Structure 1
Amino acid sequence: MKLLALLTVCIVTVLQVEPNAVERATVTDAELKALSQQLHIDDVNAVQGIVLNMQSTTTSGSTTDRAPMPLFSSVPADAFSGPTISALLALFDNYDENCKVTEVVTAGETAEDNAFLDAILATSVMQQAHQFLVSKGLADPDIAVFKEYLRQIWLGQYNRGGGIEGSSGLEHIFLGEKDGNSISGYHGWIKFYRDEQAGRMNYLGYMKKIDLGVSSVIEMPMNWDGLYKSISSISVSGSPEIELAVATVCFLARPNAKCPLLGADGTPYAYQTYTLQYNGKTYVGSAYPTY
């Protein structure tokens, strides 16, 4: 969690989309499904060759460990060498897991933020998502303005309680947060894998799994550093840009609702997003894959 550097006055044109503006936009379910399927097909930075050990099913609320082995059985050695995954990994040590702690951002961390945004905006996946949003009047056609909008909704700090600006959409979703004795967010498969490798994440079993082609959505409880969450979901194998693109489109086209999508193979799934209003601005409060 961190305080973003103040943007210069010349960036006052950053798009602010209010809920009533989103409701007026015409985005059909069929369009969302067609776009998401194409984005998955074009996700060249998705990690192929991951082997999962699903083991036994469990139920929401069960703390019994029904999976004695880790979820990730095998991950290719070069899995995290891609341009967008490596850019995301550079952000991992910039945040305090406690969402009630505010961090001061360094110049190096600001540079890493910029590198991450530039990396995802250079991909076909994010460019297609941007073009779609522009066509629906939900994004500014200027890529520089759109970049600052992404910075605001995903990296901008806000207060989840206690008067501390100690949370952001990206940290909440991709890394997960600790709020007292609770897990908040945590929907990133890369962080899950790294925590599992470090002995910090105990995979307890799964409630549901759906394959989307290369990637899979898994719904499960989790035990992270001894903290328990009764139900969460992660999308395994997808690149940072596919998750960010799909979540951003759904955040704008279907805020605070389930957003109907398709995987690369045409399998239906959904994304649930939540907006968060803070100091007159709209942020990504949460976003995760579901059914």
Structure 2
Amino acid sequence: MQSEAWNGYRKPPSEQKYSEDVGHIHQGLNFEPTREELDSLSKACSRLWELDMNRIVPGKDYIIDCGEGKKVYQKGDMASESLFSWLGDDVLRKPTYSRFCALLDNYNPHQDKHEEIVFVEEIARTSLIKYLHRYLVQKGVVPQDYEDFKKMLTSLWFDLYGRGGNSSCSTAFEHVFVGEIKGPGQGESEPDSEIQLLIVQFEWHGVLKSVSNTLIGVSPKFEVALYTLCFFVGGEDNRVDIGPYSVNVKCYRLGNNKIGSTFPIAEN
């Protein structure tokens, strides 16, 4: 059923149905960042966490099984079951989640560009991305026109560029999301099924990733907004608070206008 829905996302953007624009639903909703938030990247990231209103909830929308945990130096899978032991049927029906999954399905950087455009259009209708836009406009780093901002966001995450000596072989989206979320292993240090920032070890295409930090349960638009914010107004190290978690959002650039890699590292 999901595959049929995802195939529909390949239609021209003008022929697709999107969620109601949050600005139309909540007339007068204030997306303007406060002076405190403009002066503090951490406070702005906390606001993004608050605006992530359709984040999925552990125990209600999904259940993870961390097993007994493991140390980085321990080899092999220390848990007998999959990390996700249950996922609610309606989770992947949520518009931003569904469109995000459509991008992950046999992802190819040369795929139909419609899926990328409509994903950005979907998340751009949410309060979280509207806040991101207002924040970056105040900082003078993105266009004030919202349509131009959406084009910039699409270009930032989906334009092809060279990596590792190869030309036009990668995108920021492919590197950050496709490579980061497949094949997770198990948590380290007192694993907890309620936690939403997990340290994992996994093997992907035969290559072991010994340590990787991953956010569990947050919406796709939250991660896009978080990493975009840090890219435009942060540095390589961005020590911020998101909800109950203190993290260092690492952000590596390729030149001045491309995301090389970005990911969170648990600080506590």
TM-score w.r.t. length of structure 1: 0.71
The residue number in structure 1 matching 2:154 is 151
Q: After TM superposition, give the deviation of residue 287 of structure 1 in Å.
A: 1.1
Q: How far, CA to CA, are the matches of 1:92 and 1:261 in structure 2?
A: 28
The residue number in structure 2 matching 1:142 is 145
Q: Deviations over 1:48-74 (max 9, x none)?
A: 222111112222343322112111121
Q: How far, CA to CA, are the matches of 1:150 and 1:58 in structure 2?
A: 38
Which has the bigger relative contact order, CA under 8 A and spacing at least 6?
Answer: 1
5 Å-filtered alignment, 1:112-261, equals 112-176=115-179, 186=180, 188=181, 192=182, 201=183, 203=185, 205-207=186-188, 216-261=196-241
Gaps of 5+ in 1: 1-25, 97-102, 177-185, 193-200
The residue number in structure 1 matching 2:49 is 40
The residue number in structure 2 matching 1:288 is 263
Q: How far, CA to CA, are the matches of 1:276 and 1:229 in structure 2?
A: 22
Q: How far, CA to CA, are the matches of 2:51 and 2:70 in structure 1?
A: 33
AA of the residue aligned to 1:84: T
Distance 1:259 1:158, change over 3 A: farther
Contact 2:123 2:221 in 1 (8 A): yes
Contact 1:207 1:219 in 2 (8 A): yes
TM-score w.r.t. length of structure 2: 0.76
The residue number in structure 2 matching 1:84 is 96
Q: How far, CA to CA, are the matches of 2:227 and 2:191 in structure 1?
A: 18
C-alpha RMSD of the superposition: 2.5
Contact 2:68 2:191 in 1 (8 A): no
AA of the residue aligned to 1:252: F
The residue number in structure 1 matching 2:23 is none
Q: After TM superposition, give the deviation of residue 249 of structure 1 in Å.
A: 0.5
AA of the residue aligned to 2:250: Q
Structure 2 residue matching 1:247: 3-state secondary structure: helix
Contact 1:215 1:238 in 2 (8 A): no
Structure 1 ranges of 4+ moved more than 4 A: 26-30, 208-211
Q: Deviations over 1:145-173 (max 9, x none)?
A: 21121122211111112423111111111
The residue number in structure 1 matching 2:245 is 267
How many percent of aligned residue pairs carry the same amino acid? 27
Structure 2 residue matching 1:91: 3-state secondary structure: helix
